[in-house]
């Protein structure tokens, strides 16, 4: 099981961590909510939990809890620009459908 991250995403995470002044890495996860079942979680991590799995890409730690890993296995985290908007995008092979707005998904 693995999670990956593009260089663009890693650079932006690193910058955000520097701007914030603290933090060990970022947490990827899912939680059951939203109009289509599951929603992604993307948060700073100050201290990983003991059961977390830690991946490292381009010198940035990606931290994920075991339950979320099931839904996110094979996911690549990317940082993209769409017009003026920019942000992180989960390329998740497990996702079977998204709600219209794309804020939640199902597997």
Partner 1 sequence: MALLQIAEPGQSPKPHQRRLAVGIDLGTTNSLVAALRSGISEPLPDQDGQVILPSAVRYHADRVEVGQSAKDAAATDPLNTIISVKRLMGRGISDVKHLGDQLPYRFIGGESHMPFIDTVQGAKSPVEVSADILKVLRQRAEATLGGDLVGAVITVPAYFDDAQRQATKDAAKLAGLTVLRLLNEPTAAAVAYGLDQNAEGVVAIYDLGGGTFDISILRLTGGVFEVMATGGDSALGGDDFDHAIASWIITEAGLSDDLDPSAQRSLMQTACAAKEALTDTDSVEVVHGAWKGLLTRSAFNALIEPMVARSLKACRRAVRDCGIELDEVEAVVMVGGSTRVPRVREAVADLFGRQPLTEIDPDQVVAIGAAIQADTLAGNKRDGGELLLLDVIPLSLGLETMGGLMEKVIPRNTTIPVARAQEFTTYKDGQSAMMIHVLQGERELISDCRSLARFDLRGIPSMVAGAAKIRVTFQVDADGLLSVSARELASGVESSIQVKPSYGLTDGEVARMLKDSFQYAGDDKVARVLREQQVDAQRLIEAVEGALQADGERLLDAEERMVIDMQVEELRELMKGTDGAAIEQQTKRLSQVTDAFAARRLDSTVKAALSGRNLNEIEE
Report the interface residues with partner 1, using CB under 8 A: 12-13, 15-16, 19-20, 26-27, 31, 33-35, 39-46, 80, 82-90, 98-99, 101-105
At its nearest, how many Å lie between partner 1 and the CB of residue 27? 7
Nearest residue (CB) to partner 1, 2 versus 16: 16
Contact 32, 38 (CB under 8 A): yes
Helix, strand or coil, per DSSP, at residue 77? strand
At its nearest, how many Å lie between partner 1 and the CB of residue 70? 18
Q: How far apart are CA 75 and CA 90, in angstroms?
A: 6
At its nearest, how many Å lie between partner 1 and the CB of residue 73? 18
At its nearest, how many Å lie between partner 1 and the CB of residue 66? 18
Q: How far apart are CA 52 and CA 28, in angstroms?
A: 11
Answer positive or negative: Cα dihedral of 66, 34, 25, 14. positive
Nearest residue (CB) to partner 1, 18 versus 56: 18
Q: How far apart are CA 67 and CA 74, in angstroms?
A: 14
């Amino acid at each position: 099981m693995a999670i990956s991250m593009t260089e663009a995403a890693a650079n932006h995470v690193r910058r955000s961590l520097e701007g914030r002044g603290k933090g060990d890495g970022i947490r990827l996860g899912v939680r059951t909510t939203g109009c289509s079942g599951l929603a992604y979680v993307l948060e700073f991590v100050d201290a990983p939990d003991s059961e977390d799995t830690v991946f490292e890409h381009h010198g940035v730690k990606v931290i994920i809890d075991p339950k979320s890993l099931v839904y996110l296995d094979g996911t690549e985290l990317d940082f993209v620009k769409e017009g003026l908007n920019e942000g992180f995008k989960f390329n998740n092979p497990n996702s079977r459908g998204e709600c219209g707005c794309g804020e939640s998904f199902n597997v």
